[in-house]
Amino acid sequence: MITSDGCVVIQPAEGRAVRGAAGAATLMKADGLQTGKLLEAFEQAAPPGSGPPLHVHHDCAETLYVLDGQFRFKIGSEAVIAPTGTFLFVPEGVAHTYVNIGPDEGRILFCFTPAADMASYFEELAEFPSGPPSDRVLDDIAARHGVEIIRSAGGA
């Protein structure tokens, strides 16, 4: 709900469902249209062993909050174990990734500042339900959304 004075209120389990990469359940909580392009927020489920490739956002900072589960993050040159309740801030231009190292599905709340239209990015990736497309296609999709995939370094 958007209030008369422009506040955004989204109740638990509310939001716009977006198919994420490889079918990851993604729930948009607030997008750039709702926030005047100041912020975009979504909740995403992560099955055990899953996570994105090492990447950089060139147009926004990323804030993450682990809602459930245990993750290993790589942020710049640092490796961080992140159990439920961990808060992370990744400035624009810093390479990062994560992997769910727990035995169960985990969930992360992501916030991008300013809003980065990540919903469109995930929707494009979701067109490949069996997994990521070729590196070239993935790089092209990422570049359209201000994301650079880093292939020379390891994952989380």
**Which regions of the chain does DSSP assign to beta strands (E)?**
16-19, 25-30, 40-46, 55-57, 61-68, 70-75, 78-83, 87-90, 96-100, 106-113, 147-149
Low-confidence ranges of the chain (pLDDT < 70): 20-23, 129-132, 153-156
What integer pLDDT is reported at residue 155 of this predicted model?
Answer: 63
Judge whether 156 lies within some domain. no
Judge whether 6 lies within some domain. no
Judge whether 39 lies within some domain. yes
Judge whether 142 lies within some domain. yes
Whether residue 83 contacts residue 55, with contact meaning beta carbons closer than 8 Å, is answered with no
Judge whether 123 lies within some domain. yes
Judge whether 3 lies within some domain. no
What integer pLDDT is reported at residue 117 of this predicted model?
Answer: 84
What integer pLDDT is reported at residue 94 of this predicted model?
Answer: 98
pLDDT digits (tens, 9 = 90+) for 41-63: 999 999 999 999 999 999 999 99
Judge whether 64 lies within some domain. yes
Number of structural domains the chain divides into: 1
Judge whether 9 lies within some domain. no
pTM, 2 dp: 0.89
CATH label of the domain that carries residue 115 = 2.60.120.10
What integer pLDDT is reported at residue 129 of this predicted model?
Answer: 64
Which range marks the domain in which residue 75 is found?
A: 16-149
